[in-house]
Copies of this chain bind each other. A is one copy, B any other.
Amino acid sequence: MKAAGLNVVRMGESSWGRWEPADGKFDFAWMDEVVAEMGKAGIQVIMGTPTYSIPVWMYAKHPGMLARPLGGGDTGYGMRQNMNIDDPDYRRYAERIIVALVRHYKDNPHVIGWQLDNETSAYGSANASVHREFVTWLQAKFKTTAALNEAWLLNYWGQQVDSWENFPTRDFANSTGYKLDWARFQQWRASRFIGWQADLVRRAARSDQFVYQNNASLSRAEVNAYDMTRPLDVAGNDVYFNWQDEYDGRHQTLQGNLARGAKGRNFFVAETTGQAQGWDAVKQIPPYDGQMYQDVFANIGNGANLHMYWHWSSLNAGQEIYWKGVLGHDHEPNRIYAEVARTGNDLKKVGAALVDLKKDNRVAVLYSTDSNNALTFMPFDKWTKPLPPSFHADGYRRIFERVNAALYQAKVETDIVFADAPDFSKYKLLIVLALYIADDALLQKISDFVQQGGHVIMTFKSGEANENFMVRWHTAPGPLRQAAGFKYQETSTLLKPLKLKGDPFEVGDGNTVETIAELLQLETAQALAYYDHPFFGRYPAVTRNQYGKGSLLYQGTELGEAQQLAVLKEELKRIGLYGPDQELPPAVQIKHATSKAGKKLHFYFNYSAAAVNVGYRYGKGTEMLAGAPVQAQQDLALAPWGVAIVAED
């Protein structure tokens, strides 16, 4: 490790059974030795609280602490992350080991911080006690069952709740309002658990030890990345992807934007792909030469302050045999190790100048955890076409990834802002994607943003339902109607893709739209494109409305890949966000940041196996990795899977 230039290691979070081999019997000696060795090698340690996988003896004593699956069904020991995180026995044991562990390492100079648990969620717990607390949570929210019945429209099928005592469990619930609030409740429980651990650790830890978690990723139903990162010092994310031909840096950037946006500051890449991953061996994709090196600098360019592989060395047995680390099963140096070592040694030269980079983006994308969940409960598509690698099927996630991919293809760096506490006042362009669940205040805020001079690109489904999953009783798009400049009363699925009439965005064969068509009726907006179809042709597909000092471009249908990119670029030009970055070759990406020392940095990445020259269009400076001077307007040569970082003078 030392030879490879690594200087931080995370340990301990997977070892409760080893820390505490029997109830109340602690063993730290084995780890003390490892930490001491690390210390000698100059490697700092992040210690993890080991609460995500319970020991055998604990289950034997308290089998009831496992999460009961939604809808019932059997459960048992074997999997990790399968307990009810609010089970009192579990909490008691967890508190004991956390406090013991933190006290033990509090004064160890090599231990610089704490990871809380691992990829925490509520694990789908539908235990009786969870149900009871949910009822209490609902009582606090709605006060009366009458208010609940109205908010959730429970007279449908005559399912009004007559008393809190009779409130049915989530197991077979059909109510959309129920589903959404249950998801929020589970998110809240998961965030509360992290907050509880953060408090426990902080009370016992050394004051300069930081506390973080690795869950600021595009997230599961039961995780609200924004809320869960509140109690932490730093947000961390786990970025897994496949190397070789699927690797293009898109996913890393999206996850980086999300982690940076969650906490509003630099973040940790807490885990990322070593050789390959999988709970089987069916998709083992080790990197081509150069990819791993390049990827570290891409994460740094996104604002990462730490880059950790999961994991150093591969496991020789168990479920994760083929979740392969830097070293393989022989634990000997190999091709991957050599590349990591090259990276580590270069970082010794340039790393200090790349910490705490500041990003200053003009474009933001709004992320709505609620809309993601709600569109799973009430999907508008079933996506059967092959997707680009690492896209996730279905609804919100797909449109979110698709438009973010267009932004990436357009080489536009973006921030992610969260619907949970949105602040987009400083941006020039705000992207709003299928914002299905939104309260009136959020929609008003978007309208105000436009009126005051902001620009918005928005898609279908936005503003449709309120915060209780109640589709609005006013003509769509409800409170957005004035800013959007149209209304609609009907939505049609598109069973087959259509074209836009006259190819208005000049994309030739790429002229396709699909999935959905809201039948927009213009009020003050102008149509940018119409469908090419005898019936749909009377409705506009894309509109733009000037509203106050700003504008709102609306896509009432799902644009094909080329079409989406073209619409985006046209809008960027119109609002003055189009520059030389946008003219870079397709395989080249660029990132900008300002260093702590105030220097302007420009990162260039070649995501291809062919060398390429790109025009450097910024000020005179130095390419940091090679240490070579760079002139304004000169050409930069990028090797296959190469990277260059220019610091302006």
Among A286, A317, A491, A534, max chain B CB count under 10 A is at A317
Whether the pair A317, B18 counts as a contact (CB closer than 8 A) is no
Whether the pair A168, B78 counts as a contact (CB closer than 8 A) is yes
Whether the pair B490, A172 counts as a contact (CB closer than 8 A) is no
Complex interface: chain B residues within 8 A of A42 (CB): none
Scan A233-246; emit 1 where CB is below 8 A from any B CB, else 0: 00000000000110
Whether the pair A334, B166 counts as a contact (CB closer than 8 A) is no
CA distance A609 to B534 in the complex (A): 9
Whether the pair A332, B21 counts as a contact (CB closer than 8 A) is no
Among A316, A468, A473, max chain B CB count under 10 A is at A316
Scan A423-434; emit 1 where CB is below 8 A from any B CB, else 0: 000000000000
Whether the pair A156, B55 counts as a contact (CB closer than 8 A) is no
Complex interface: chain B residues within 8 A of A475 (CB): 330, 332
Whether the pair B490, A156 counts as a contact (CB closer than 8 A) is no
Among A156, A159, A476, A490, max chain B CB count under 10 A is at A159
CA distance A317 to B468 in the complex (A): 9
CA distance A97 to B467 in the complex (A): 35
Whether the pair B318, A174 counts as a contact (CB closer than 8 A) is yes
Whether the pair B330, A489 counts as a contact (CB closer than 8 A) is yes
Contact stretch, chosen from A56-64, A206-214, A413-421: A56-64
Checking B74, B155, B173 against A78 with a beta-carbon cut-off of 8 angstroms, the contacting residue is: B173
Contact stretch, chosen from A194-202, A373-381, A522-530, A598-606: A373-381
A622 at the interface (CB under 8 A from B): no
Q: A interface, by DSSP: helix, strand, loop or mixed?
A: loop
Whether the pair B378, A490 counts as a contact (CB closer than 8 A) is no
Min C-beta distance of A392 to chain B, whole Å? 17
Checking B14, B76, B167, B329 against A169 with a beta-carbon cut-off of 8 angstroms, the contacting residue is: B76
Contacts of A142-178 to chain B: CB distance below 8 A: 152-163, 165-169, 171-177
Total interface residues in chain A, CB < 8 Å: 104
Closest to A278 in B: B493
Closest to A55 in B: B158
Whether the pair A285, B18 counts as a contact (CB closer than 8 A) is no
Whether the pair B53, A157 counts as a contact (CB closer than 8 A) is yes
Whether the pair A161, B318 counts as a contact (CB closer than 8 A) is no
A283 at the interface (CB under 8 A from B): yes
CA distance A172 to B167 in the complex (A): 32
Contact stretch, chosen from A249-257, A319-327, A440-448: A319-327
Scan A51-89; emit 1 where CB is below 8 A from any B CB, else 0: 001111101100000000001111111111000000000
Min C-beta distance of A360 to chain B, whole Å? 38
Complex interface: chain B residues within 8 A of A166 (CB): 56-57, 59-60
A619 at the interface (CB under 8 A from B): no
Complex interface: chain B residues within 8 A of A162 (CB): 17, 21-22, 55-57
Whether the pair B15, A316 counts as a contact (CB closer than 8 A) is no
A281 at the interface (CB under 8 A from B): yes
A19 at the interface (CB under 8 A from B): yes
Among A175, A281, A285, max chain B CB count under 10 A is at A281
Contacts of A456-512 to chain B: CB distance below 8 A: 468-476, 489-493, 495
Among A21, A54, A322, A471, max chain B CB count under 10 A is at A471
Checking B17, B283, B289, B336 against A155 with a beta-carbon cut-off of 8 angstroms, the contacting residue is: B17
CA distance A49 to B624 in the complex (A): 79
Question: In the complex where A169-B77, A284-B493, A330-B476 touch, is A158 in contact with B318 (Cβ < 8 A)?
Answer: no
Whether the pair A75, B160 counts as a contact (CB closer than 8 A) is no
Complex interface: chain B residues within 8 A of A165 (CB): 60
Whether the pair B56, A336 counts as a contact (CB closer than 8 A) is no
Closest to A376 in B: B280
A43 at the interface (CB under 8 A from B): no
Min C-beta distance of A564 to chain B, whole Å? 21
Min C-beta distance of A559 to chain B, whole Å? 19
CA distance A60 to B135 in the complex (A): 15
Whether the pair B177, A317 counts as a contact (CB closer than 8 A) is yes
CA distance A74 to B80 in the complex (A): 24
Whether the pair A490, B53 counts as a contact (CB closer than 8 A) is no
A36 at the interface (CB under 8 A from B): no
Whether the pair A489, B334 counts as a contact (CB closer than 8 A) is yes
Complex interface: chain B residues within 8 A of A245 (CB): 495
Whether the pair A336, B490 counts as a contact (CB closer than 8 A) is yes
Whether the pair A18, B380 counts as a contact (CB closer than 8 A) is no
Whether the pair A321, B378 counts as a contact (CB closer than 8 A) is yes
Sample of 16 further A-B pairs with CB below 8 A, known A244-B495, A286-B492: A15-B158, A54-B158, A56-B166, A60-B165, A60-B166, A75-B172, A78-B159, A153-B318, A175-B318, A176-B318, A176-B319, A176-B321, A244-B492, A317-B468, A329-B473, A332-B475
A interface residues (Cβ-Cβ under 8 A, vs B): 14-19, 21-22, 50, 53-57, 59-60, 71-80, 152-163, 165-169, 171-177, 244-245, 275-276, 280-286, 288-289, 314-322, 328-332, 334-336, 378-382, 468-476, 489-493, 495, 519, 534-535, 609
Instruction: List the 8 shortest-distance A-B pairs measured between CB atoms, nearest first.
Output: A17-B158, A72-B74, A78-B172, A153-B317, A77-B168, A60-B166, A156-B318, A76-B172
| 8 cross-chain CB contacts under 8 A | A16-B158, A21-B160, A59-B166, A153-B317, A244-B495, A285-B495, A316-B472, A317-B470
